[in-house]
Structure 1
């Protein structure tokens, strides 16, 4: 990856369809999120090679992943192994993250080891609300041991989710699981684990800022919202105390990097901070170079 040639690095990109046409979410959640984000069709059916072409055209790189929440949803996930293998064919623009359902217990730990050692993933995505688990549940601690020991990044969905929004009962998805304060326990108990709190953490934005300020290896990505809706305190901290710990993320395909960047350009972000948010902080976090 020629980092110097990139204009940005998007740390939050979902693979929503496999090479064989399998969707990442069950039909009712897929259609519900399409209505919530007002996006469907071509944008949501891009395979990994098509995502690579999309980002290559924009001179960007992307961290890509799916979410394994089969125990809670009953829906088989897209294979993280498949995603990693396809990313290896597009290593100039794609960085693979994996996802394992923590409810699988020891099997999840064994699979995480294999994904690190055999498939070269650089991090793991967790969606506590979709997967119905608290991040500080001790059942996840053997999994975090693997991630910390192998230098992985743990990326946690935080705050409200568009998945299930507007459906009866929110599609059965409970927001309580994505309170970032539970991740504070993880950061305290695993001090060498690099952590990303994904999204503006509504309604817990101040908690996320406090955690990222207090815990040295906790970062915040700005995905899932158009920047024009960012709360003022998030912009203020991105400009100052957290300038080296805030990351560009779009939440593609439900929010495109084109839309995100256009709205971000209208924010009052200091000129010297912009390249840090768009690329430099993520390059450092992920340990990327020009190899």
Structure 2
């Protein structure tokens, strides 16, 4: 059986990593990349065609394609315009910019209404702001009102220049309590607080966990148990391309011995539900 169990896969976490954008990034953003297997790709950037070609080669039919503090929304707008059947846009806005919170809310609404974006992504460690800071809350309210998904990095941070405090799963618990109608996808498994992240996802109907930036052979045993059993509808496969290649992020799935219905949920159906991709 193929690495993807023969299932057309939805990847919940990719980002355009264009050479033109990478050329403007500060050097400190590549200190971790230099220690990674695919670090050279991160330093040079990749054309959008490389993303689609690698999706094709690995059975990835659709990908949630996100902006971020380092990747402008307009790169994602261009990506979803060029490949509307393959890429689903997710926005990133900064409520701490000089213009304040409301311009960030207006920009989010523009991207949803004009380009069909399906979510808002937060990587709070880059701004050194925990996800429960009040300034984020108008954005969460806008997500709930627009019926789009909040995607947020949870867990420890790789770069040594950023604190991991922003990634504690307890912040997700608080947000889910305050916004019970808001769909939340917590990325990066929540490691090293994976058990806490599992508890939060099991507690709240609208919280999911994605596996971005983690190789299947290194999934924590308690996460694999959650995936196979009572969390089968709460776990979403993701790569974090180009941080990981699709091939690397799929390699080892067969060794998890997932039941066919669990693999279908993990590789496709849960992402479709979490990001409201179903008709």
TM exceeding 0.5: yes
How far has the Cα of 1:223 moved from its partner?
1.3
Partner of 1:128: 124
Partner of 1:79: 72
Partner of 2:190: 201
8 Å CA contact 1:16–1:25 kept in 2: the answer is no
Partner of 2:16: 15
* 1:137 has 2:126 as partner: no
* 1:222 has 2:187 as partner: no
* Structural mapping, 1:52-71, within 5 Å: 52-60=52-60, 61-68=62-69
* 1:107 has 2:96 as partner: no
* 1:191 has 2:184 as partner: no
Partner of 2:3: none
Query: Aligned partners of 1:180 and 1:131: how far apart in 2?
Result: 17
Query: C-alpha offsets along residues 89-124 of structure 1, whole Å, 9 cap, x if unaligned?
Result: 202211111111231322211211111112211111
SS of the residue 1:96 aligns to: strand
Query: Aligned partners of 1:287 and 1:239: how far apart in 2?
Result: 23
Query: C-alpha offsets along residues 217-240 of structure 1, whole Å, 9 cap, x if unaligned?
Result: 000001111111111110111111
* Structural mapping, 1:1-291, within 5 Å: 7-17=8-18, 20-23=20-23, 25-30=25-30, 32-42=31-41, 45-60=45-60, 61-68=62-69, 77-104=70-97, 105-162=101-158, 164=159, 170-171=160-161, 173-289=162-278
How far has the Cα of 1:23 moved from its partner?
4.7
Give structure 1 stretches of 5+ with no counterpart.
69-76, 165-169
Q: Aligned Cα RMSD in Å?
A: 2.0
Query: Aligned partners of 1:16 and 1:286: how far apart in 2?
Result: 22
Query: Aligned partners of 1:286 and 1:268: how far apart in 2?
Result: 26
Query: C-alpha offsets along residues 112-148 of structure 1, whole Å, 9 cap, x if unaligned?
Result: 1111112211111101112211111111111111111
How far has the Cα of 1:6 moved from its partner?
6.5
Alignment TM-score, normalising by the size of structure 2 = 0.89
The change in CA–CA distance for 1:6 and 1:52 in structure 2 (over 3 A counts) is farther
Query: Aligned partners of 1:7 and 1:16: how far apart in 2?
Result: 24
8 Å CA contact 1:109–1:142 kept in 2: the answer is yes
Structure 1 stretch 47-56 or stretch 238-247: which is displaced more?
A: 47-56
Give structure 2 stretches of 5+ with no counterpart.
1-5
Structure 1 stretch 246-255 or stretch 44-53: which is displaced more?
A: 44-53
The change in CA–CA distance for 1:204 and 1:23 in structure 2 (over 3 A counts) is farther
How far has the Cα of 1:267 moved from its partner?
1.4
SS of the residue 2:209 aligns to: strand
Query: Aligned partners of 2:24 and 2:68: how far apart in 1?
Result: 7
Query: Aligned partners of 1:198 and 1:175: how far apart in 2?
Result: 14
Alignment TM-score, normalising by the size of structure 1 = 0.86
- Count of equivalent residues: 269
8 Å CA contact 1:237–1:243 kept in 2: the answer is yes
